[in-house]
């Protein structure tokens, strides 16, 4: 039964040593003013850049992943239409892409609901950053591939 007194002694030593170590760390003075160079150098003005114009497309190409089966399916959905994917209903209300470059990044407004009509996702998805705004579903993933070209 020597273990219990030894463990108690170790814990007591640690308990007494930790506050002293924490106090030593707080004795270091913190700087209160910025470095002289940073305070005297004015920030460069930000040039206004024109917003990239977007073109509207008649619909979107989406990709669905069934995580249980490990299978992907491409869905072509026109604006205002709804497509079924597994137990989900996917509605595309708008798809846009940079003007003059239809092969570039696309973003689409999707509404994804389950069979009961409960909305699971309602917002914009961006093709180049699918995780930025993603569907959170235990079985299915859906993301935007591109807009439908005219």
Q: Is pLDDT larger for residue 52 or for residue 80?
A: 80
75 CB burial (10 A radius; 0-12, 13-18, 19+): middle
The confidence score (pLDDT) of residue 48 equals 46
Distance CA 88, CA 97 (A): 25
pLDDT tens sequence across 31-50: 555 555 545 555 555 554 44
Residue 134 and residue 62 share a domain: yes
Residue 110 and residue 137 share a domain: yes
| Mean pLDDT taken over the chain | 78
Residue 128 and residue 59 share a domain: yes
Residue 26 and residue 74 share a domain: no
Total domains present in the chain:
2
Residue 58 and residue 34 share a domain: no
Residue ranges making up the domain that contains 91: 54-147
Report whether 63 contacts 143 (CB < 8 A): yes
In a domain, 114, yes or no: yes
In a domain, 140, yes or no: yes
SS (H, E, C) 57-71: ECEEEEEEEECCCCE
Distance CA 104, CA 147 (A): 9
Say whether pTM exceeds 0.75: no
pLDDT tens sequence across 58-95: 999 999 999 999 999 999 999 999 999 999 999 999 99
The confidence score (pLDDT) of residue 144 equals 94
Residue 84 and residue 12 share a domain: no
Residue 98 and residue 75 share a domain: yes
Handedness of CA 46, 47, 48, 50 (dihedral sign): negative
């Amino acid at each position: 039964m020597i273990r219990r007194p030894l463990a108690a002694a170790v814990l007591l030593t640690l308990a007494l040593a930790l506050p002293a170590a924490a106090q030593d760390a707080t004795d270091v003075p913190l700087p209160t003013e910025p470095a002289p160079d940073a305070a005297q150098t004015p920030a460069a003005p930000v040039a206004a850049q024109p917003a990239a114009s977007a073109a509207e497309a008649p619909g979107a190409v989406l990709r669905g992943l069934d995580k249980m089966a490990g299978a992907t399916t491409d869905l072509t959905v026109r604006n205002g239409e709804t497509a079924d994917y597994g137990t989900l209903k996917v509605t595309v209300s708008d798809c846009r892409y940079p003007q003059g470059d239809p092969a570039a990044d696309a973003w689409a407004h999707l509404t994804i609901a389950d069979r009961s009509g409960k909305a699971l996702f309602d917002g914009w998805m961006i093709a180049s950053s699918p995780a930025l705004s993603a569907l959170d579903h235990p079985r299915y993933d859906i993301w935007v591939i591109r807009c439908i070209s005219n």
